[in-house]
Chains A and B, each alone.
Chain A
Amino acid sequence: MFWKALKKSLYHPNKVKSLNKGHRLFALSLPCFYWRCKVQFLINLHCPCQMSEGAMAVVKPEMKSYIWLQTADGSIQQVEEEVAMFCPMICREVIQTGTGSSKNYAISLPQRVNPAILGLILDYCRFHQVPGRSNKERKTFDEKFIRMDTKRLCELTSAADSLQLKPLVDLTSRALARIIEGKTPEEIRETFHLPDDLTEEEKLEPLRNITDDPRIRLLNRLYARKRKELKEREKLKNVEVEEERVDDRSVDDLLSFINGGDGDTKGTRTNKNKKKNRRRKDQSKDSCLNNEMHDSACHDGEGNNGLLASASTSSKLQDSAAVTFSPKLEFDDGDIDDDLDPAMKEELDREVEDFARRLNSVWPERMQELFQGRKLVPISLNGNSAMSRYTSLDQR
């Protein structure tokens, strides 16, 4: 009865599927080794599973469906149907155009999918298409899966996007975002090998004023002016004392703003002045500057400390945090040409903040303070006069 059944199934084409499973069970269930071999031999003889690949290609789909995929480089792969159908793009191709059922009619995948990446994508699909998995299992798999170098991660994102496999796109995008997060621009450039092709001006003033908001323009100008003044102050500490050319124009800008004039071009000029006046960094002066900032008693002849008296009450950390938003953008640390070090930047930012706040509050009172604070430094004389000009204007 056993042999009859076997022969029947062997010659019945429709039974091929069950035979595939069945024949292994038959062979293994036989207690006697001899019988096992005999049966196996017979099965091998007749079972189409053992035949050549060409024939297999014809018969196999009936037992287990496969989809044929062709990557851009011409190589063809065959993939289990349920795994391949997990990709919406492949699914659509199969349903709409009917391709993929055989080697000659393989689905050509988009160019962004190369064989190695296809392998990864199929691993992902193979795991996730199984319905019974818990969320925790899937999450664990995803976390392990996503560990790869950034180059491959980018390729995978691109490929997943072209196959419209949204869960994988989200997973890889989040991973890339995590890599970007928290890094400085140089670190990001290094990680992803980005070309450093922005000019200095573009980096320092990346947000060119394309808005009419006068406060924003003023802030830009204040920034530029403060940068200059800080630089100048640093120079005073250096052995070389150079006469610094004061940029009157920035003050004029402020005036003209108050008078309602257009100051954009002047703003640009301020930047150029700043560039011309560049000096190299002086790192040893950092700590000195910092200490000064925290002294908060405006004694050491630095006029700007008057301004900073109230600024120093808030912690350094907070303030630097407050404006990390822009300095990160506007100052490139690793750049050799940049002559402002972090300490100065922080100082600068604090000042600008304070200055901006003062603009919003009552003028006369503040002018007193500023006036008193600035009289000690020759450069600030101009500032003072500017201030007095303001005052007079204000009290019209």
Chain B
Amino acid sequence: MGESSAQSMSKCTELTLNRNAVIDTDRISNLPDSLLYHILSFLPTKEAFATAILSNRWKPLWTLVPTLDIKDNCCKKPISFTYIVYRVLALHIAPSLRSFRLTWYSPCDSFHLDTWIHFALARNVQQLHLEIYLDGRQDDSHVYVGKFFWLPRSLFTCKTVVVLELSGGIVLNPPPSFQFASLKILRLSKISYGPTNNISTLISGCPVLEDLSVVRECMDNVFSFKINVHTLKRLHIEFKSYKPEPPDYNLEIHTPALEYFRFSGHLRNIVFHEKLAHLIEARVDIYALEDWTRVYEIYYGDRIFKLLRALNNAKFLSLFSGDKECIAFGSIYPSMFQNLVRLNFKVTPSNWHVLLALLLVAPNLEVLVVNKDYDNENRFCWMELPDAPGCLSSCLRTFNFDGFEELEHEVKFVMYILKKARALNTMTIKIPAKLSKEGVFETLSMFPRLSTTCLITVEKDNSLE
């Protein structure tokens, strides 16, 4: 009897142990609701929704997750999917949404999308991301031709939205006077603007805007607008065009508090009406279509230098001033780049002189990174290296040259740097695979150098041809 009781005892403990084991190892369900909502908020709504059948604990959780991420399935029959979205939205009871993301690439009636956006607005959404192509996304062309989606008017009276991101076949149509009282980040990517005043109206209706990004890929008509925002800290402008005609635009910028500026694309008229005293970083990548630069070449270089002059307070500058010869005209003088500490320069046959000009006007430069963007090219704009004292001498610590091919002017340039930079600590040269590391290293070591602590490194860059 004792044995059997012992056996039953051990059985009991065994059972208890097993039960404990089962209970103990389900750790995730013991997390508080708020944490589970937080975890589910990182999943697309499709997956969060599916957790409803995991267990009793998980059944109601998805309905209170404060984010909704709806992405269509790119199927040719999206009608039943729209039903599903309605169902999801109807059952979702979180009182306020932190983020609502709608990505829609299938043919659809716009009133459905309109309804869903209304739903989000009614839930005091803070971040709204819309990417909508009503007629399906056309991948082969850069231009979307199809039905456009008109944003619901109630969007423009939303007081809670902090981040607004619009891209795709959407038409921007703000009412004449409105305010996005809380909007801090606005990103417009490849959308349609209708009459050009729309974007000025939109931007002027954002009193606390800090981050603006405007990307346009196809510009049909003259596009002029003002950016007059005193709180703006970050500005990103990208105007590219795949048409043979040059895009034309006039941009007037009043942003005294700007800290970060990025421009990419075809440069036309960009005027900064106020000095950018707080500018920390500027990135400028200029691309030009072959055809029209021939016509405008006289003004092109001028335009580039005008933009650069406006950016002269930057601490970090990354510049690719294009590869067209017309840049040979114009100069940076007389602006000085007093605060410039780091310069990333992408060099082409036609803009060596820009680099040299910058070196002259940046007495406090500490890091210089030069990237080469051409093959062995005979014609290039070269100018006699300035012998001015104080130029590069005291501050330059790091010098990187990517794409060194031992061409004559490159060698001259490297010699010049070594001769002038007294404080140079490291010089890193990246060569293409066809050259030999040791050979280049030997050549470089022969050059006279002013700095006693300079460390020269030669690396092979296998990504270059």
Stretch with Cβ within 8 A of B (4 or more), from A45-53, A74-82, A202-210, A245-253: A202-210
| B28-A173 in contact (CB<8A) | no
B26-44 contacts to A, CB under 8 A, are 26-32, 34-35, 38-44
Closest Cβ neighbor of A330 among chain B residues: B53
A198 and B49 contacting across the interface, CB-CB below 8 Å: no
The chain A residue with its CB closest to the CB of B85 is A325
The residues of A that contact B57 with a CB separation of less than 8 Å are 194
Contact between B43 and A181, CB atoms less than 8 A apart: yes
Kindly state whether residue A158 has any CB partner on chain B within 8 Å. yes
Shortest distance from the beta carbon of A183 to any chain B beta carbon, whole Å: 9
Asked if A234 is an interface residue, CB under 8 A from chain B, the answer is no
Do A326 and B84 have beta carbons less than 8 Å apart?
yes
Give the CA-CA distance A188 to B62 in the complex, in Å: 15
A129 at the B interface (CB under 8 A): no
* Cβ–Cβ < 8 Å partners of A219 in chain B: 80, 83
Question: Closest approach, in angstroms, between the C-beta of A113 and any C-beta of chain B?
Answer: 14
Given A173-B35, A202-B59, A318-B73; A150-B28 close (CB under 8 Å): yes
Tell me if A329 and B52 are in contact (CB < 8 A): yes
A54 at the interface (CB under 8 A from B): no
Interchain CB contact under 8 A, B51 and A180: yes
Contact yes or no, A216 B35, CB < 8 A:
no
Instruction: Tell me, yes or no, whether B1 is within 8 Å of chain A by CB.
Output: no
The residues in A between 26 and 56 inclusive whose CB is less than 8 angstroms from any CB of B are none
Chain A residue with the shortest CB-CB distance to B49: A329
A173 contacts B42, C-beta separation under 8 Å: yes
Contact A213 B90 (CB under 8 A): yes
Interface size on A, residues (CB 8 A): 56
Of all chain A residues, the one with the shortest Cβ separation from B26 is A193
Q: Given the interface contacts A169-B35, A173-B38, does A192 sit within 8 Å of B27 by beta carbon?
A: yes
Q: How far is the CB of A265 from chain B (nearest CB, A)?
A: 20
State whether A357 and B90 are in contact (beta carbons under 8 Å apart), knowing that A158-B30, A195-B26 are contacts in the complex: no
Which residues in B have their C-beta under 8 angstroms from that of A354? 77
Chain B contact residues: helix, strand, loop or mixed: helix
Q: Smallest CB-CB separation from B72: which chain A residue?
A: A322
Given A314-B75, A357-B77, A188:B42 Cβ within 8 A:
no
Is B76 interfacial (CB 8 A cutoff)? yes
Which residues of the other chain, B, contact A189 by a CB distance below 8 angstroms? 54-55
B91 interface hit (Cβ, 8 Å): yes
Q: Name the B residues within 8 Å of A319 (CB-CB).
A: 75, 77
Taking CB as reference atom, which chain B residue is nearest A216?
Answer: B87
Task: Pick the residue among A182, A193, A207, A330 that contacts B47 (CB under 8 A).
Answer: A182
- Across the interface, which residues of A come within 8 angstroms of B330, CB to CB? none
Q: Provide the A293-316 mask, 1 if CB < 8 A to any CB of B, else 0.
A: 000000000000000000000100
A157 touches B35 (CB 8 A): yes
**B87:A194 contact, CB within 8 angstroms:** no
The verdict on B383 contacting chain A, using a C-beta distance below 8 Å, is no
Question: Interface readout for A147-165 with B: 1 if CB under 8 Å, 0 if not?
Answer: 0001100110110010000
Residue from B22, B41, B42, B81 within 8 A of A325 (CB atoms): B81
A176, A182, A329, A349: which contacts B53 (Cβ < 8 A)? A329
Provide the residues of chain B in CB contact with A216, threshold 8 Å: 83, 86-87, 90
Which among B40, B50, B74, B77 is the interface contact of A185 at CB below 8 angstroms?
Answer: B50
Instruction: Answer yes or no: A196 CB below 8 A from chain B CBs.
Output: yes
B-binding residues in A (CB < 8 A) = 150-151, 154-155, 157-158, 161, 169, 173-174, 176-178, 180-182, 185, 188-189, 192-198, 202-203, 206-207, 210-211, 213, 215-216, 219, 314, 318-319, 321-326, 328-330, 332, 349, 352-354, 356-357, 360
10 examples of A-B residue contacts, CB within 8 angstroms: A176-B39, A185-B54, A193-B26, A194-B28, A198-B55, A206-B52, A314-B76, A322-B75, A324-B73, A353-B79
Q: With A198-B53, A198-B56 given, name 16 new contacts (CB 8 A).
A: A154-B28, A154-B30, A158-B32, A161-B31, A161-B32, A161-B35, A173-B42, A181-B43, A181-B44, A192-B29, A195-B56, A206-B53, A314-B77, A322-B73, A322-B80, A323-B81
